[in-house]
Amino acid sequence: MSDTKAKFEAGLAGVVAGQTAVGEVTQTSLRYRGYEIADLAANSTFEETAHLLIHCELPNASQLKDFRHRVQAAMNLPKQVTDVVDAMPKSTPPMDVLRTVVSILGHYDPDGQNNAKSANLGKSERLLGQIACATGYWCRRMGNLPEVKPDPNATHGFNLLAMMTGKKPSELAGRVMDGTLVLYAEHEFNASTFTARTIASTLADMHSAVTGAIGALKGPLHGGANEAAMHQFLSIGKVDNVDNWFNELEAHNKANPTNKRLIMGFGHRVYKNGDHRAAILRDWSLQLSKETGQKHWIDMADRLQKIMLDKKNIHPNTDYPAAHAYYQMGIPIPLYTPIFVCSRITGWCAHIIEQYENNRIIRPGSDYIGVPARDVQPISKR
């Protein structure tokens, strides 16, 4: 390796680590294979978006019908997998359940060890159905809910929400859930996607790469932020408490500079002037509130958002409105991040396939900051 190294940047901030044709993120836009996210959210279902990411183009009506059929056909788990899930402690975090399920599914997939593109396209579609099924299965086990079979004519989001809650949702709730999956499906070289690509770059199989991605997404600084944001709203309680809650947190952070409490759902590495996905999802949540009568969550969120913008010039990210949207749909908070997996599996698989197609093992350098060179002393002199 050359002695000349690139400048170190903490968290690889601003470092271009590869090239992709899957998604493009700028400070003002997010595009999936050239399509702006707002356009996709308004004019496509999640299954159309999933087809776009996995197969590179939006489907026509016939292709969408076939794609939906293949994905729904995969909405079941081998008995060997459900036996393992049934044996897990009920205290197991749902993200750990999904991580384990995907790892085990690799043993039973007919193309588990096959890295050919045709095999990986099939695995991508099966994982899309299986992960939704596994999420619903865990919800049934935890809440003693009835099983709801996928509606062959319904969207992926509608069916996912039905499997998670044990009942068919309203048309609006189904649309909102499907829309959130569109918003979460892809986001360039984020931590979980980069993890998946790094694993794939070793020519490990797709299930291994996805298992690693789930592990990366579990962290509260990545996928877990939507759960933390909802706990935050619950701790505030009502809109009249927002100002005092914020002031008390600021006082705590001033008195405890080494033990600060974060305000969750705000800030983004790229979107310094606001995450446009957040505005879309906030409007959907507002529509839901007219059906659920829970507008107080939006009022509370709007008040805290204004304070953060006025005092810190920090905008919310998409996890912020996702929290109160999911809560209105009756989804248990620990299942918020697994929903992220149900969506982002499409982006992960697209990136994994892309990595295989033009592969070079990912192996960055590092700056050594340890003790200088020294000699080993005989054990008698140490």
- The catalytically annotated residue of 178, 205, 275, 319 is 319
Pairing of strands 23-25, 30-32: antiparallel
- The catalytically annotated residue of 156, 207, 268, 276 is 268
Give the span between the Cα atoms of 347 and 331, in whole angstroms: 23
Amino acid at 194: F
55 is catalytic: no
For the four alpha carbons of 368, 374, 379 and 381, in that order, the dihedral sign comes to negative
Among the listed residues 94, 340, 347, the one whose alpha carbon sits nearest the alpha carbon of residue 209: 347
Which residues have C-beta within 8 Å of that of residue 348, sequence separation ≥ 6? 192, 193, 196, 209, 210, 213
Which residues have C-beta within 8 Å of that of residue 19, sequence separation ≥ 6? none
Give the span between the Cα atoms of 48 and 58, in whole angstroms: 6
Q: Which residues pair with 35 in a beta bridge?
A: 32
- The catalytically annotated residue of 55, 96, 222, 299 is 222
Among the listed residues 156, 203, 63, 194, the one whose alpha carbon sits nearest the alpha carbon of residue 342: 156
39 is catalytic: no
Give the span between the Cα atoms of 321 and 382, in whole angstroms: 59
Q: Is the distance from CB of 343 to CB of 14 less than 8 angstroms?
A: no
Side by side, the strands of the sheet bearing 23-25 are: 23-25, 30-32, 35-36
Among the listed residues 84, 198, 78, 75, the one whose alpha carbon sits nearest the alpha carbon of residue 126: 75
Q: Is the distance from CB of 131 to CB of 75 less than 8 angstroms?
A: no
Give the span between the Cα atoms of 267 and 299, in whole angstroms: 20
222 is catalytic: yes
Give the span between the Cα atoms of 108 and 78, in whole angstroms: 8
Q: Which two tokens stand for residue 48?
A: 């159309």
Active site residues: 222, 268, 319
